Amino acid sequence: MAERSSLEVVQEALEKAPPRGFGETVELTVNLKDLDLTVPKNRIEDDMPLPNGRGKPVKVALFGSPEMCQKVKGVVDLAVSSAELEDAIKDKKAAKRLVNQMDFFLAEAPLMPTIGKRLGVVLGPRGKMPRPVPPGGDPTNLINSLKKSVRVRSKGNRTFHAPVGTRAMPAEQIAQNVDALMGRLIGRLERGATNIESAYLKTTMGPAVRLR
């Protein structure tokens, strides 16, 4: 059977999904094969940029010096200065709420040991350990890139899922996102596309349509 284009598959997934009373996500499901997932290098854990974004706000938080926090004012969704860090993490319930509210975290490199020690137990299992930023740097471009990215984590599982847009987005934009994510994924796999057994697209409540 000839492989169909991503656009054709997206259009079919949208057509087959009955309208719902909420904004559905369009999700890509990938099934891997012929990989030893007990070997860490074979697991997928990557922040993958989508050319058209996720179709909904993506929140980024930063832990940094007062100077760095000032640089990213208005760009980042939450900036926690080194002087405020202790207060932000001493309340465990409040820290968990913070972690759940944000999609990505950045941290000025000197703060990484403290954050790992104090918040690692909350951030780690959620795949949200901060990406380090060089001291004194300007992470504005990185923040803007993350706001159009999705974190893909296979962990030790053969099957994993990733949002590639929302139902409200044009089908062409969703298809471009699918192609970008699949291209990056194939580049990460040991044997490229031959490590993908199958891939499907679906809306939150709609039926799955095979992509490959």
Looking at residue 31, its pLDDT comes to: 95
pLDDT value at position 126? 85
pLDDT < 70: residue spans in the chain: 1-3
Q: Are 167 and 26 in contact (CB under 8 A)?
A: yes
Domains plus CATH for the chain?
Answer: 6-55+150-210 (3.30.190.20), 60-146 (3.40.50.790)
Read off the tokens for 172.
Answer: 């062409």
User: Bridge partners of 210?
Assistant: 200
Residue pair 85/114 in contact (Cβ under 8 Å)? The answer is yes
* pLDDT, position 167: 94
CA distances from 116 to 87, 99, 105, 195 (A): 16, 13, 12, 33
CB of 49 closer than 8 Å to CB of 164 = no
Overall size of the chain counted in residues: 212
Q: Which pLDDT does position 45 carry in this prediction?
A: 85
- β-strand 45-49 against 159-166: which pairing, if any? unpaired
Q: Are 102 and 128 in contact (CB under 8 A)?
A: yes
pLDDT at position 2 is: 52
- Which residues share a beta bridge with 163? 27
Q: Tell me, what DSSP letter sits at residue 41?
A: G
Q: Which residues contact 184 (CB under 8 A, 6 or more apart)?
A: 46, 48
Amino acid at 50: L
For the chain, where are the E strands, in sequence order?
A: 25-32, 45-49, 60-64, 78-81, 104-108, 131-133, 149-153, 159-166, 196-203, 209-210
Instruction: With H, G, I as helix, E, B as strand and everything else as coil, classify residue 138.
Output: coil
Predicted confidence at residue 1, as pLDDT, reads 44
CA angle 172, 176, 181 (to 5 degrees): 150
Closest-CA residue to 17 (of 177, 201, 186, 196) = 201
